[in-house]
Amino acid sequence: MNGGYTRVLILRSPFETFIRIQHEPVGREEGLTTEQLKAIRFTPPFAAKEVEKILGPELTTAMEFCDWTTKNIGVPDEVFNKLHTYLNDTQMVEAMGTTGFYSFVSRFVVGLDVDGKANTTVPIPE
């Protein structure tokens, strides 16, 4: 899976403070623009279609997949199959694993306030 997909899945994870502090700079290094980072961060769950012109169809589909995975656990076949048109079987496993893992990590790190930043305000991408 390329970095753009990975970063969308990570940055859409819940409890964003720790994740954003760590992964927004990596997203920039992988080519995500400020406009894309803002779209990933501020688009409400299940509203990915609103930012398709900014993200493009592939990253929009990844964002939609992540929303379903983190908000409802189950992913509708339509959403799963749409992402599968861009990713092979191995990459689909990686996408599900990344989304599930970062949902867990977010809850663990924030719940224990591991780095003392659970209540830190994350700057808006500029």
Section 9-30 average pLDDT = 80
Phi and psi angles of residue 67, each rounded to the nearest 5 degrees, phi first: -60, -45
- What does the pLDDT look like over 43-61, one tens digit per residue? 999 999 999 999 999 999 9
The domains of the chain are located at 3-112
Q: Distance between CA atoms of 68 and 64, rounded to whole angstroms?
A: 6
Residue 6: pLDDT band with limits 50, 70, 90: confident
Among positive and negative, which fits the CA dihedral 29, 84, 60, 45? negative
Angle between helices 3-11 and 89-112 (to 10 degrees): 40
